[in-house]
Amino acid sequence: MKKVMIWLGYVLLGLLVFGLIYFSADAVLSRISLNKQEPSDTKAEIPFYVLSNGVHTDLVLPIKEGEQDWSKVFPIDHTKGKSADHRFIAIGWGDKGFYLNTPEWKDLTLKTALIAGLGIGETALHVTYYRNMSLGEDCRKLMISQEQYQALTDFILASLDKNAKGEPIYIQTNAQYGMDDAFYEAKGAYSLFYSCNTWSNHALKRANLPAGVWTVFDKGILRHYR
């Protein structure tokens, strides 16, 4: 019994040390700012938003910009509302089990958490259409250039898992969060070290937009968009 207690003590100590390192790394690295917006000859005329639900961040882009039409990539008919009067599309990446089985934190199970944390589950893109965006603490706006918009587009499209025809794979489910969202199969693995917010931060870095070195939390991104 004594050996078991000692072993449990080491496990708890290890978890505590890991937690301290993990949260400290995020607190430090997320504050190191990359890609600060500098005056440029390139026109920043496209509205872009970073949207958070308090935990998870989405990248919000105009549905139509130049030749890019997101409604052709993610058909409106895949949403429950099927409304065609939206102007913006919010796109986020994350663990498929979290998305489909955990609409609220009270629905989280140990199995879902372990699969996600260990990076052994599948991933999905969550797409939500909006008519308008309301600025606030959890919704920040920045005007971006055509080049930055294209970089974000390329990153998002590269995250999609596609069928033999090169089309996004729609996930048929009743787990939508509202009338204007849908899910699609994605590439990559979610883990403790690469979360939904790490994906968003990575996209921002690719587009030369304000971002931190590394973060797993939404606040690590939003602090660069005050």
Instruction: pLDDT tens for the chain, 226 residues: list them.
Output: 777 677 777 777 777 887 899 889 999 999 999 876 555 556 889 999 999 999 899 999 999 999 999 999 999 999 999 998 999 999 999 999 888 877 555 565 656 666 666 666 799 999 999 999 999 999 999 999 999 999 999 999 999 999 999 999 999 999 899 999 999 999 999 999 999 999 999 999 999 999 999 999 999 999 999 8
Q: Please tell me the predicted confidence (pLDDT) of residue 32.
A: 94
User: Which conformational region is residue 192 in: left (phi greater than 0), alpha (psi within -120 to 50 degrees), or beta?
Assistant: alpha
Q: Are 91 and 62 in contact (CB under 8 A)?
A: no
Phi and psi for 57 in degrees, rounded to 5?
A: -105, 145
What local confidence, expressed as pLDDT, does residue 37 receive?
58
Return all residues near 138 (Cβ < 8 A) that are at least 6 apart: 51, 52, 53, 54, 218, 222
Distance CA 23, CA 11 (A): 18
Which segments of the chain does DSSP mark as H helices, in order? 2-29, 70-73, 96-101, 110-118, 146-159, 196-206, 219-222
* pLDDT for the residue numbered 162: 96
| pTM of structure | 0.90
Task: Give the pLDDT of residue 40.
Answer: 55
- Residue 8's pLDDT is 75
Pairing of strands 88-95, 57-62: antiparallel
Q: Of 36, 94, 57, whose CA–CA distance to 220 is shortest?
A: 57
**pLDDT recorded at residue 210:** 95
The answer to whether the beta carbons of residues 74 and 164 sit under 8 Å apart is no
